[in-house]
A and B are shown apart, each in its own frame.
Chain A
Amino acid sequence: MVEFLQFTLSGISFGMIYAAIALSLVLIWRGTRLLNFAQGGMAMFTTYIALEVIRHTGSYWAGFAVALAAGLVLGAAAELAVIRPTLGKPELNAVIVTIGLLILIEGVAGIMYGGQFRSFPAAFSVVGLKAGSTPLGVSRADVFVAAAVLAAALLLATGFRYTSVGLRMRAAAFNATVARLSGVRVARVITVGWALAGLLGALAGVLVSPSTFVYPNSMDSVFVLGFTAAVIGGLDSPAGAVVGGLLLGVALSYAGGYLGSQGSDLTALVALGILVVVLMFRPDGIFTAGRMRRV
């Protein structure tokens, strides 16, 4: 029973990371109907920036803040520089461009920061919390991870719903032409969307890096699982991203814990199994409204 609790809590902790990546993918999808394969790479790069800041100033929170700011800038820059020219062209072109961007960022990170693992500090202590004498399987750092992502998701949701920027973003995503006719600066809205996605990615990066250590490919597997979480939850739904992330994180944790020594090998297959089951019943993810066109 104790193990169950430990598996669940550690699964939630990792699941929130997947949720953060999923959220950023959802943001970009809603804004530009694109899959951004470079999301993980951008998160890794902002984490390196945070590392440099922490090294020079000694302050974790300075690094944290700079990482988020860098995420904003990087997301906007990527959109303006390489994504904008692909809008209006075949969709897959933009996907390939993001793949190229990912490879470029990983190469640049390799050039700038060399070939060792770097250690990244956690926000708070990694010593496990206990209930009485039983270790719960989470630390203060894990609680912070969950809280940070949840806060980001809530801010995003309220922002979408209650601010005019959010309204403009939703309008542009729903129907760009009509939105433009209503006076929405669609281009600017798209850039804002990518910037916010960059920020979310940067958040995921600094939150997960204590566990993955920082190196140019550190975010690759996190990205795959974040993408899976987004697909499970439905690419149009931020709530879906969070639910998908949690579901995936917890299920993988159980798989690793209960399937014995083969469990570690089979985690990817378990994730695939979950995805297949979900998509079998809801081909567009859990939270997407069903499509209308049927014959």
Chain B
Amino acid sequence: MKRTNRLRGPAVAVLAAAALTVAACSSSSSGTGASPSTGSSTGAGGGSGAALTASAPGITATTITIGSHQPLTGPAAPGYSEIAPASNAYFSYVNANGGVDGRKIVYKYLDDGYNPTNTASVVRQLVLQDNVYAIFNGLGTPTHLAVQSFLNAQKVPDVFVASGCDCWDAPSTSPETFGWQLDYIREGKILGQYVAKHFAGKKIAYFYQDDEFGMDGVKGLDYEIPKSMVVSRQSYVATNVNVAPQVAALRASGAQVVISFSIPAFTALLKLTSLKLGFSPTLTVSNVGSDPITLSGLLESFAKQGGSTVNGNALTAGIITDGYTPPLGDTSNGWIALFKKIHDQYDAKAPFDGNVLYGMAAAYTFVEAMLKAGPNPTRADLVSAINNGLPQGPAVAPYAYSATDHDGVTGAYIGMIGNGVLTKEGPVLVTDTSAAGAITSYTGTEPQAPSSGVPAP
């Protein structure tokens, strides 16, 4: 009878575990180190030339290290994976032009594949191992929800989350967390009011993604559009590209206007399937899914049909949407010119589309906040800087930031797509997220882009 030794197996495994872990310890990247050291004053950039110190984790005399979680691979990657490199491009520009109070920004964004389990893991790596100063622009609602309580418990600033959920506006329970983009409820209200006013008496239908993006959007729409006008509500899931049943139902309901809270791929599918079913309603789309460049890219192949007279731009013509940053095609706008210049220099491989604009605008806002936080900021300094309000920057409407409100952009303009570009129609409208909150025109002037491209201190 052979003497088997069952002890070996687990023991070997444990030893291997120990060895691997020890090896991992020594070879892991440790970010920019958190050991305090006194730095020499560098003088450049605002401030009185005070000595730069390592005033907080992630901050040294020469660098500021921030982290983020982004879907760089996986089904959510197309499109969204452009945002972080664009932010990084803006940070590189700032670094090349004096930095923030003389410090360079190091932006460390890790891939979570849009999976909350991975998000929890990479954010812990960033905070516990790489000692980042703050988490910037974490992307995704379910993904960021997985780390919101962790970041707040660790008192790490969680700024400018890349999601329009209103869950980031909870200053009493999540004081470190701030939203940035126009949230979906506000957007729904703004679009809803426009549709109710301009298409009174017509039949309206909703087509929305079956998650909080779509559902919050519909909530906003319902605040403004009388229920009697809505003849059909169809939802889709991002994993199923066969939207023919939903579009057939929309068509059967006789809808003349379809409001779509969809991501670009599904806006394109909605358009294509409508073509197939001979359905041509007026299309109103959330700004999440209406970037003209992305849509044209998705639809361009269908413009080159053999025997078809469908033109690429014709497929996007007439789409009503909203925007909270200046339209991409408006090259006379200082912000667009600035970001295009930075894009061409630092991020030229990516198309200059809505995602890139988003990334750069958010990065600009972060630099504004850092400058306000002072030359030797602690983590709390950043949070109070934002709580005291931030200048508008490239957003067309002011931010809501205050000690009691952590929402970002508060309004948008309505626009229409024609010839592949978005044109502004009418004034910027601001509102809040409540059912009764009024929608008013914003009368302030939009700030000009700084000539240096870096926010004024």
Contacts and interface: CB of A to CB of B under 8 A. Distances in A.
Q: Do chains A and B touch in the complex (CB under 8 A)?
A: yes
Interface of A: 2-3, 6-7, 10-11, 14, 60, 106-107, 110, 114-122, 124-128, 130, 135, 137-139, 142, 210-213, 215-217, 220-221, 252-254, 256-258, 261, 263-265, 267-268
B6 interface: no
Given A115-B82, A267-B237, 15 more contacts: A7-B245, A115-B72, A116-B297, A116-B351, A117-B298, A119-B300, A121-B301, A126-B276, A127-B276, A127-B308, A142-B276, A210-B272, A216-B77, A221-B241, A257-B249
Contact of A264 (B78, B240, B252, B306): B240
Task: Tell me whether chain A's interface is mostly helix, strand or loop, or mixed.
Answer: helix
22 contacts: A10-B276, A14-B242, A115-B78, A116-B297, A117-B79, A117-B297, A117-B298, A120-B301, A125-B305, A125-B308, A128-B276, A135-B277, A142-B276, A215-B77, A217-B74, A217-B77, A220-B75, A253-B242, A254-B245, A257-B246, A257-B249, A267-B237
A115 B347 CA distance: 14
Nearest to A258: B245
A139 B308 CA distance: 12
B307 A264 contact: no
A266 B59 CA distance: 49
Given A120-B301, A221-B239, A267-B240, A135 B249 contact: no
Ranked nearest first, the 3 interchain pairs of A and B with the lowest CB-CB distance are A257-B245, A256-B245, A135-B278
Contacts of A139: 275-276
Given A3-B248, A211-B242, A264-B237, A119 B277 contact: no
A211 B241 contact: yes
Given A116-B79, A130-B278, A135-B277, A125 B306 contact: yes
B179 interface: no
Given A124-B306, A210-B302, A3 B252 contact: yes
Interface string B249-270: 1011000000000001100110
Contact of B268 (A125, A142, A213): A213
Interface in B288-311: 294, 297-302, 304-308, 310
A137 B233 contact: no
Contacts of A11: 242
A212 B252 CA distance: 25
B113 to A, nearest CB: 10
Nearest to B80: A115
Contacts of A6: 244, 248, 277
B307 A125 contact: yes
Interface of B: 72-75, 77-79, 81-82, 210, 233-237, 239-242, 244-246, 248-249, 251-252, 264-265, 268-269, 272, 275-279, 294, 297-302, 304-308, 310, 349, 351
Contact of A10 (B210, B234, B242, B297): B242
A280 to B, nearest CB: 25
B429 to A, nearest CB: 29
Nearest to A249: B242
B317 to A, nearest CB: 16
A126 B245 contact: no
Which of B233, B239, B276, B279 counts the most chain A CB atoms within 10 A? B276
Given A10-B244, A116-B78, A265 B302 contact: no
Contacts of B268: 213
B404 to A, nearest CB: 36
B278 A7 contact: no
Given A257-B249, A265-B210, A210 B277 contact: no
Contacts of B79: 115-117
Contact of A137 (B241, B277, B294): B277
Nearest to A138: B276
A253 B82 CA distance: 34
A216 B73 contact: yes
A212 B297 contact: no
Contact of A117 (B210, B234, B265, B302): B265
A11 B243 CA distance: 11
Nearest to A135: B278
A137 B276 contact: yes
B252 A117 contact: no
A54 to B, nearest CB: 8
B305 A126 contact: yes
